[in-house]
Amino acid sequence: MATPSQARRKLKPEVDRNVLLKAYDLMSQAARMAATYDEKRDVCGKYVHSTSRGHEAIQLAVGLQLLPIDYLSPYYRDESILLGLGLTPYELMLQLMAKRDDPFSGGRSYYGHPSLRREGFPVIPHQSSATGMQAIPATGMAQAVAYLESQGLREQRQSVVVCSLGDGSVTEGEVAEAFQMAVLKKLPILYLVQDNGWGISATGPEMRTMDAYEYAAGFKGMERMAVDGADFIDSYLGIKKAIDFVRKKRSPMLVHATCPLLGHHTSGVRKEWYRGEDLDQHKQNDPLLRLHHYLLEHGETEETLSAIQEDVYAKIEAAYEQAKNSPDPTVAEFDTHEFAPTPITTEQGERTPPSAEKVIMVDAALHAVDELLQKHPEALFYGQDVGRRLGGVFREAATLAQKYGDERVFNTPIQEAYIVGSTAGMSAVGAKAIVEIQFADYVWPGMNQLVEELSKSCYLSKGKFPVQALIRIPVGAYGGGGPYHSGSIESTLLTVRGIKVVYPSNAADMKGLLKASFYDPNPVVLLEHKGLYWSKVPGTADAKTIEPDADYVLPLGKANIVQHASDDKIREGATAVIITYGMGVYWAREASRDWDGQVEIMDLRTLNPIDWEAIVASVQRHGRAFVLTEEPLLNSFAESLAGRIQRECFRSLDAPVWTLGAANLPAIPLNVDLEKAMLPNVNKVKEALQALLSF
């Protein structure tokens, strides 16, 4: 038997013997875990999972070389990266079996979906199962690292972000958006693309004309490398070179690793269903067997390797039994961590300082962002056309880039998915992003990121990764904006759990709510009605208010009674409440002039969380309720709210809950007369109010 010193001399000097034997141990663990999951399908097959079988070499090459200062965004097959980092088979099996002590999600998310903030480990934020979607948040992490470094706000220098992808996912458009920003901004990120030639049952040639290495050539400034992902030596040395490049050059790199797929796509889509000779060919490239033969050729003995295998077998069996017998989650806690607690719970600062002047709503927003950027160097503001040259199509960012520099206030490409999704990465690193979607009608490419990456992060990570994101979106019709510049989107947004939706109707609320949204540790979408920006639409003069001071914040979830009914009319039972927001506040005010003292108007201000207590109190006070919206009414938030009022306040009602919204059509027409015919207006509100009060 060769002594350790003799064996070491026979090995390649580039990779230390201890690293090779550790890799062999961990590779054996991954292989034995996969076999255990198949052998014990009655237990392990309860929840869908994928394993790293065939990908172990390239994944361990990454996991063994990342540092605690780094960031990782893996995909669902990356269990061997986690083993390389130091996670144990027992910990991984806790997630496999959806157990209480699953260190990532407490039984809430799938196997191979880590969320980790642990001393001595890279940060691993939540990422979804949606293939390729992690590329944008990962690139957002790299952008945050680069920004904070440029401002001297990070103690750790030379952190690297690694984003792991399957080759099939690289055809996703959102991956292209991530690559584009990485080269445009010269970001410190390594994209690892693992190519096993399959996308579930589709082969590479069915899905693409080029592999990821060839594709990356189209992104000028993206360094590329191809490695044999089944060869640990080639993978380890290649990844070492790649990480060193990104760490020193602070530029993006893509590593394309070819490897076999030896396991199932998932436990629910099994290899024997659709793979024949291809599977036999892949088995010949098994990274574990290749490393085994390599070690024998370079001085190790079968006795040494067999001892490792025996230890691994016992370790995995023990981990399985321990995980199987561990407690399940506490069902009573199933609804915790939808949101992280916000620090803004009371109204603070002066809403109407004695020496202040009136300000229009768009300027109140501009001043709020200006004050936030001045106070918080970790804050950035970006989106289409908000940079130095224009300062926003509504001038909502005017002068900000001149004051704070192009690294903090800048234009993005036309990439709504990146604008939204990058905030998840920013938040994980500690940067605070304020972003803008130019018009509500163009938000849809960003919805996937909002739903999959932002909204679920806090809940599925059990509070470890709430996403601090302030997403500003101009909404609403304002006279000839047409079908793609006039939309209202609140009902769609409000079907997404895990986000907050804010809708101010005047300048003071805009400033206070914008700042509260910034300080909220959760994703907040701030809807800003274009027709209220300048108070030019007839009847909206009151949207212009005294500007609150720099300390003013207004907590989310607090409605405001902007018009009270008289006590006498309430006692007579002759009153109603109009529950509305945005432009509806001004339609309601104008329409109610004919019923002096009979109409209370409630401005919701925040749609989620909604001030349900205030709604109930008002409905009980008046016995008649009217929900008014600018959106098409059918299946809308307004209809849903009316239904809830009807159900929960039924005994207090003297009439059905009235509703009014736009006509149920797919778009706002361009012609102003057609627009008026479609939308609510003062006269339509009067007619509905008359019917309600007369009921």
Mean pLDDT by 10 residues, the chain (695 residues): 37 78 98 95 92 96 98 96 98 97 96 96 93 96 97 91 95 97 98 91 88 96 97 97 98 97 83 80 92 95 97 98 97 97 98 96 97 98 94 90 95 96 98 97 97 97 98 95 96 98 98 98 98 95 98 98 98 97 98 97 98 98 98 97 98 97 97 96 98 96
Residue 361 — φ and ψ, nearest 5°? -65, -40
Q: Is the dihedral of CA 202, 203, 208, 214 positive or negative?
A: positive
> CA-to-CA distance for 502 and 27, rounded, in angstroms?
50
> CA-to-CA distance for 383 and 397, rounded, in angstroms?
10
> CA-to-CA distance for 99 and 106, rounded, in angstroms?
6
Give the 3-state secondary structure of residue 467: coil
> CA-to-CA distance for 515 and 506, rounded, in angstroms?
14
CB within 8 Å of 580: residues ≥ 6 apart: 587, 588, 601, 602, 603, 604, 627, 628, 629
For the purposes of burial, counting CB atoms within 10 Å of the CB of 585, is it exposed (0-12), middle (13-18) or buried (19 or more)? Answer: buried
Radius of gyration over every alpha carbon of the chain, rounded to an integer in angstroms = 29
Q: Is the dihedral of CA 174, 179, 184, 190 positive or negative?
A: positive
> CA-to-CA distance for 298 and 428, rounded, in angstroms?
43
- The C-alpha angle with vertex 136 and arms to 134 and 142, in degrees rounded to 5, equals 105
pLDDT at residue 632, rounded to an integer: 97
> With contact defined as beta carbons under 8 Å apart, do 432 and 153 qualify?
no
Q: Residue 451 carries which DSSP code?
A: I
> CA-to-CA distance for 556 and 496, rounded, in angstroms?
17
> With contact defined as beta carbons under 8 Å apart, do 529 and 475 qualify?
yes
Contacts made by residues 202-208, CB under 8 angstroms, sequence distance 24+: 202/168, 204/167, 204/168, 207/168, 207/171, 208/170, 208/171
> CA-to-CA distance for 174 and 381, rounded, in angstroms?
21
Structure tokens at 208: 């693409």
pLDDT at residue 299, rounded to an integer: 92
> CA-to-CA distance for 431 and 170, rounded, in angstroms?
27
> CA-to-CA distance for 107 and 95, rounded, in angstroms?
6
- The C-alpha angle with vertex 288 and arms to 191 and 70, in degrees rounded to 5, equals 30
Which one is catalytic: 485, 529, 564, 622? 485
> With contact defined as beta carbons under 8 Å apart, do 144 and 132 qualify?
no
Q: List b or e across 392-412, with b for residues whose CB sees 16 or more CB atoms inside 10 angstroms.
A: bbbebbbebbeebeeebbbbb
- The C-alpha angle with vertex 464 and arms to 459 and 468, in degrees rounded to 5, equals 80
Dihedral Cα 30, 33, 37, 43, nearest 10 deg: -140
Residue 433 — φ and ψ, nearest 5°? -95, 130
For 463: left if phi > 0, alpha if psi spans -120 to 50, otherwise beta; the answer is left
User: Against a cut of 0.85, is the pTM above it?
Assistant: yes
- The C-alpha angle with vertex 455 and arms to 453 and 456, in degrees rounded to 5, equals 75
pLDDT at residue 200, rounded to an integer: 81
Residue 374 — φ and ψ, nearest 5°? -65, -35
Q: List b or e across 629-652, with b for residues whose CB sees 16 or more CB atoms inside 10 angstroms.
A: bbbbbeebbbbebbebbeeebeee
- Domains of the chain in start order, with CATH, are 4-326 (3.40.50.970), 358-546 (3.40.50.970), 560-694 (3.40.50.920)
Structure tokens at 536: 């030019």
Q: Which of 139, 122, 147 is nearest to 62 (CA)?
A: 122
For 245: left if phi > 0, alpha if psi spans -120 to 50, otherwise beta; the answer is alpha
> CA-to-CA distance for 466 and 461, rounded, in angstroms?
8
- The C-alpha angle with vertex 14 and arms to 10 and 17, in degrees rounded to 5, equals 55
Residue 97 — φ and ψ, nearest 5°? -95, 5
Dihedral Cα 473, 476, 479, 480, nearest 10 deg: 70
Specify the pairing of strand 658-662 against strand 625-632: parallel
pLDDT at residue 11, rounded to an integer: 42
> CA-to-CA distance for 426 and 457, rounded, in angstroms?
13
Residue 559 — φ and ψ, nearest 5°? -75, 165
Residue 124 — φ and ψ, nearest 5°? -125, 100
Active site residue 126: no
For the purposes of burial, counting CB atoms within 10 Å of the CB of 118, is it exposed (0-12), middle (13-18) or buried (19 or more)? Answer: middle
> With contact defined as beta carbons under 8 Å apart, do 607 and 669 qualify?
no
